[in-house]
């Protein structure tokens, strides 16, 4: 099979859907996972397939070891190859709580889904990509972690989220260092304020901040903005930049006087 294959976790909604759409447009076949039933994403899958991509959905929770194993096995069974892994699946705290009062349950949940899941899914994918490289020295794999500006921008009412994303930043460096010898580039994309269902509850807050000059580019980001960045990396447009972080934040983190 000549078409390259990308696995996108959480690829059926929000930022993940923007990524899936961009990869399909770039000529990739797709495996998408999510926690919802397949019937809930059927329309999305049909739309992606209409763009010319072969699309396969797997119901899987990346925080669970058995589901991660099932997911990789499903990619093998359907396509027999994996060129790109996009670790996108993630959650925000159910309740934003001051770190002076926040409990352990939310912390454990976010670490499991946002950090532990992608870390060990990367391990599975990396070992397969190493096999692919040993079988074909022309193989060039790619792993892209979609994190957040919260990896470095502190929000004291969601410390668990910030810590999980900061961990993804170090994971990016670790896997880039470990996988370079196998021709696998590893990148991190850090979105800023992106309009999705995850940010639906804070629209008024961020509308005011954006109007007040928070961003250099005074608008909400979109899943399509992130998708374009991921597709660029997946295509190999930055081949000499493994381990790097690409900010998609409208200039929010640019230092200013």
How high does pLDDT run on average in the chain? 97
190 three-state secondary structure: strand
CATH of 5-247, one of 3.40.50.720, 3.90.1150.10, 3.40.50.10310, 3.40.309.10: 3.40.50.720
- Between vectors from CA 139 to CA 136 and to CA 142, what angle results, nearest 5°? 150
Active site residues: 161
pTM: 0.97
- Between vectors from CA 112 to CA 156 and to CA 234, what angle results, nearest 5°? 95
CA 8/CA 22 separation, integer angstroms? 11
Domain spans, the chain? 5-247
Residue identified by tokens 């069974």 is: 77
What is the chain's pLDDT, residue by residue, as a tens digit (257 residues)? 579 999 999 999 999 999 999 999 999 999 999 999 999 999 999 999 999 999 999 999 999 999 999 999 999 999 999 999 999 999 999 999 999 999 999 999 999 999 999 999 999 999 999 999 999 999 999 999 999 999 999 999 999 999 999 999 999 999 999 999 999 999 999 999 999 988 988 999 999 999 999 999 999 999 999 999 999 999 999 999 999 999 999 999 999 98
């Amino acid at each position: 099979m000549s078409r390259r294959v990308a696995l996108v976790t959480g690829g059926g909604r929000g930022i993940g859907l923007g990524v899936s759409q961009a990869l399909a447009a770039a000529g990739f076949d797709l495996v998408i996972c999510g926690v919802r039933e397949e019937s809930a994403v059927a329309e999305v899958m049909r739309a992606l397939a209409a763009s010319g991509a072969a699309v396969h959905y797997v119901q899987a929770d990346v925080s669970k070891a058995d589901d991660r194993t099932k997911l990789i096995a499903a990619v093998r069974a359907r396509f027999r190859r994996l060129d790109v892994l996009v670790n996108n699946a993630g959650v925000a705290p159910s309740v934003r709580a001051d770190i002076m009062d926040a409990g352990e349950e939310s912390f454990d949940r976010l670490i499991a889904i946002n950090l532990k899941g992608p870390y060990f899914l990367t391990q599975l994918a990396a070992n397969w990509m190493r096999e692919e490289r040993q079988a074909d020295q022309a193989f060039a794999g790619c792993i892209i972690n979609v994190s957040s500006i919260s990896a470095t921008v502190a929000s004291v009412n969601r410390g668990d989220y910030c810590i999980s994303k900061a961990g993804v930043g170090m994971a990016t460096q670790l896997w880039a260092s470990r996988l370079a010898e196998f021709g696998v580039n590893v990148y991190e994309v850090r979105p800023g304020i992106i309009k999705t269902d995850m940010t639906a509850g804070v629209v008024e807050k961020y509308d005011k901040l954006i109007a007040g000059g928070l961003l250099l580019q005074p608008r909400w980001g979109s899943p399509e903005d992130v998708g374009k960045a991921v597709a660029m990396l997946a295509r190999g447009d930055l081949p000499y930049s493994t381990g790097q972080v690409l900010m998609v934040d409208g200039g929010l983190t640019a230092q200013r006087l």
